[in-house]
Structure 1
Amino acid sequence: MTMITTTAELTRACDALLQSDFVAVDTEFMRETVYWPALCLIQAAGHDTEIIIDPLAEGLDLEPFWELMADDRVMKVFHAARQDLEIFFHQGEGLIPAPLFDTQVGAMALGLGDSIAYDGLVRALLKRPIDKGPRFTDWSRRPLSDKQLKYAMADVTHLRDLYPIMREKLDRKGREDWLSEEMGILTRPATYELNPEDAWKRLKLRKMTPQWLAGLRCAAAWREREAQTRDMPRQRVMKDDALYEIAATAPTQASELQGLRAVPKGFERSRPAERLYEAMRAAMADAENYAPKVEKPAPPPSNVGPTVELLKVYLKRVAEEAGVATRLIATVPDLEKLAADPKADIPANKGWRREVFGEPAVRLMQGEIALALKDGRVVMQDVKG
């Protein structure tokens, strides 16, 4: 088995893949020591074409592959697509493959688990074992052995066989709409945009004062910019614990940073520290406006407890009937909001979730229907007026 290493070879291969109505796609990448994932392999399989692309090959232009991913005549099939799509978005200059089918999301809609692993899905639907031996390969090394390449190729040949089976099962159950919301999130550019000023959202909010929030936002944005510029993991730039200390101190000079327990000794005299001081001075000049606007969630009304418990019972009944996990339909916080306000702006009040759960749940709260036990099962009954 050989890899595609030239643009001419890639162009011919992508032209062949364009003849398929769907293409299974997977990647191998390394990200342990970098901020931006290093794309090491791309595997793709159509009806009659199977290819492995070497993105590290000197002089290889990936443009033919990006054009294939952008062609709306071909369905792109991934498993757990988010990390692959993040790489494509940044290396393909904003590209998000479409139309898209994620078999992990499809498996969730079929009741095969919230986040089933690829090998588990292959075993469940194809009855095939997967060789896990080469999974810890350093995919950036060259040359790769035939065994490693066969392992990488199997990821998309199994995926190619999974897609028609899953599509048929989803059609039969009438659950195509169940995928639309999740696919909408996966194909939204905002999912992959890495704005340093939003990096604070990754962290726990330990205080709610404008001064502390401004300090945390500034420290997190500084770390994100450093990680992106220096291409290293966030935690190697500065640990989360140190960011909390920096947020509390809001240092604008070395003497204010020195002595913080979680900050590496001597860091206060470094160039990155100088950039932190500069950013913090700007943030603290108007901390009230710079601080992110965070609304502390109001506690649920004290009288909704029994309603929430009733909704939990009904949710479990609906999930069991549909053969899916409860959290695919609604979470406990969703139930609390619904109990407090039948028109609450939650996923359970929209789309297919409203049809299978939200609407009858509101009728249940309004006393129009009731839950009862019949032969050991929870059933719905109309309440006669």
Structure 2
Amino acid sequence: MTLISDSIALADFCARHAQVEFITVDTEFMREKTFWPQLCLVQVAGPEEAVAIDPLAPDMDLAPLFALMANPKVLKVFHAARQDVEIFLHLANAIPHPLFDTQVAAMVCGFGDSVGYETLATQLARARIDKTMRFTDWSARPLTDRQLDYALSDVTHLRVVYEKLKRKLDKNGRISWLEEEMAVLTDPATYQTHPESAWRRLKPRSTSPRFLNVLRELAAWREREAQERDLPRQRVLRDEALMEIAAHAPNNAADLSRTRGMSRAFAEGRQGTAVLEAVMRGVARPDSECPTVEQRVDLPKGMAPVVDLLKVLLKMKCDEHGVAQRLVASASDLELIAADDKAEVPALQGWRRQLFGEDALKLKHGRVALGLSEDGRRLRLVPMNEAAPA
């Protein structure tokens, strides 16, 4: 068991792994008291060596690690990579590449929706993961042997998981499917957060232009404030308060202080002034510049059974090809397909269209039907004779 807590040892480890085929990577972080994840530990395993890197050690320089993450010759293997990638992007301003996500690969290989690491470690590496350390305080020092043992197990067993999934992908010819998903994970746009769009996470029900304009300004102010002060959004101003302020649009500190849970000191202080300025900007915006709330698709009358048929087809196709349903299409995607042949959904693009989308459109338009096989044990698609009378 190795804990790297100085820059020289880290540089030596990264140099030794600059030419390996792949490394497995995981992170431990805390986010309860900050906006940005606080990186507490990085675990990296090569073919013969596994280490835990302590980014909180005095004078630790992570530059060699960031260089290894950016090395195009070394494949970086993660499980459920998105949060880990976000951390590296924030700290190093670069996304680890090339990248292989075993959770996505497992979904492509038929292990179910959002399969957990423990499940894959058990099924593919025959390993048992001790879950008792999952919610430990990774920022506390010194780290215990038990903590380090748990942390390193996240990358040592991942080597076997990766190798077995890679063989499955080579065998079933689905590497290109995975590459499409990795292109999304390694796209910086995936991780961009625009303060002006922060209001959408609140999912407001009101469509009042004035309310939405004010809410957008308030949420953008809170997002910037949270990022600058490195505080959770709720610590700056709670969601409920944002919605209430947007609904009442106060124009002075006295009115603002009447917001539930807000102190007079806040209302009369710097932050209160900033909130009132955001309200003023929202009120001043013309209705024509009001953001739009994403509305649920209203299916045309009689289309609900079509969605039900598409759900059956999706399950049949995914069972047949051994791929997770969630990776192919969501329930809302099916509704959009039922309403529009040209719906802009992943299920009508790329490998998903070949696997499911083309047949979904044929089923929708009656060119194929669902039927039972001769032995009555499985569903199959039955071509319809379009020339036959109705």
- What's the TM-score, normalizing by structure 1? 0.94
Identical-residue share of aligned pairs (%): 51
CA distance in 2, matches of 1:187, 1:334: 24
CA distance in 1, matches of 2:163, 2:326: 26
Name which of structure 1's ranges 173-182 and 113-122 shifts more when overlaid on structure 2.
173-182
For 1:380, the equivalent position in structure 2 comes to 381
CA distance in 1, matches of 2:267, 2:123: 54
* Structure 1, unaligned runs of 5 or more: none
CA distance in 2, matches of 1:245, 1:358: 43
1:166 maps to a residue whose letter is: L
SS in 2 for 1:302: coil
CA distance in 2, matches of 1:371, 1:133: 47
For 1:222, the equivalent position in structure 2 comes to 221
For 1:256, the equivalent position in structure 2 comes to 255
For 1:247, the equivalent position in structure 2 comes to 246
For 1:69, the equivalent position in structure 2 comes to 69
SS in 1 for 2:302: helix
Name which of structure 1's ranges 358-367 and 260-269 shifts more when overlaid on structure 2.
260-269
Detail structure 1 runs of 4+ shifted over 4 Å in the superposition: none
Q: C-alpha displacement at 1:266, in angstroms?
A: 4.3
Q: Please tell me whether the aligned partners of residues 249 and 256 of structure 1 are also in contact (alpha carbons under 8 angstroms).
A: no
CA distance in 1, matches of 2:62, 2:164: 31
SS in 1 for 2:3: coil
- CA 1:5–1:290: 2 relative to 1, 3 Å: farther
Q: Please tell me whether the aligned partners of residues 40 and 140 of structure 1 are also in contact (alpha carbons under 8 angstroms).
A: yes
For 1:332, the equivalent position in structure 2 comes to 331
Q: C-alpha displacement at 1:256, in angstroms?
A: 2.4
For 2:82, the equivalent position in structure 1 comes to 82
Q: C-alpha displacement at 1:63, in angstroms?
A: 1.0
- What's the TM-score, normalizing by structure 2? 0.93
Matched, 1:9 2:20: no
Q: C-alpha displacement at 1:287, in angstroms?
A: 4.4
The C-alpha deviation readout for 1:264-294, integer Å capped at 9, x for no partner, is: 5643123211111122223322243653244
For 2:360, the equivalent position in structure 1 comes to 361
For 1:195, the equivalent position in structure 2 comes to 194
Matched, 1:53 2:60: no
1:75 maps to a residue whose letter is: L
Q: C-alpha displacement at 1:216, in angstroms?
A: 1.0
Q: Please tell me whether the aligned partners of residues 2 and 52 of structure 1 are also in contact (alpha carbons under 8 angstroms).
A: yes
CA distance in 2, matches of 1:164, 1:127: 14
CA distance in 1, matches of 2:102, 2:245: 42
CA distance in 1, matches of 2:344, 2:10: 47
The C-alpha deviation readout for 1:328-381, integer Å capped at 9, x for no partner, is: 222222222222222222211101111011112222233332221221421112
Matched, 1:109 2:108: yes
For 1:18, the equivalent position in structure 2 comes to 18
2:242 maps to a residue whose letter is: L
Q: C-alpha displacement at 1:149, in angstroms?
A: 1.5
Q: C-alpha displacement at 1:309, in angstroms?
A: 2.5
The C-alpha deviation readout for 1:278-335, integer Å capped at 9, x for no partner, is: 2222332224365324454551221323322222222221122123333322222222
For 2:208, the equivalent position in structure 1 comes to 209
Q: Please tell me whether the aligned partners of residues 244 and 259 of structure 2 are also in contact (alpha carbons under 8 angstroms).
A: yes
Q: C-alpha displacement at 1:2, in angstroms?
A: 4.1
1:343 maps to a residue whose letter is: K
* Structure 2, unaligned runs of 5 or more: none
For 1:301, the equivalent position in structure 2 comes to 300
CA distance in 1, matches of 2:297, 2:81: 35
The C-alpha deviation readout for 1:192-222, integer Å capped at 9, x for no partner, is: 2232222112111221122111111111112
1:147 maps to a residue whose letter is: R
CA distance in 2, matches of 1:227, 1:220: 10
Name which of structure 1's ranges 334-343 and 30-39 shifts more when overlaid on structure 2.
334-343
Aligned residue pairs: how many? 384
For 1:121, the equivalent position in structure 2 comes to 120
Q: Please tell me whether the aligned partners of residues 217 and 281 of structure 2 are also in contact (alpha carbons under 8 angstroms).
A: no
2:70 maps to a residue whose letter is: A
Matched, 1:238 2:237: yes
1:66 maps to a residue whose letter is: F
SS in 2 for 1:51: strand
CA distance in 2, matches of 1:134, 1:335: 40
Q: Please tell me whether the aligned partners of residues 239 and 262 of structure 1 are also in contact (alpha carbons under 8 angstroms).
A: no
CA distance in 1, matches of 2:362, 2:343: 14
Q: Please tell me whether the aligned partners of residues 7 and 61 of structure 2 are also in contact (alpha carbons under 8 angstroms).
A: yes
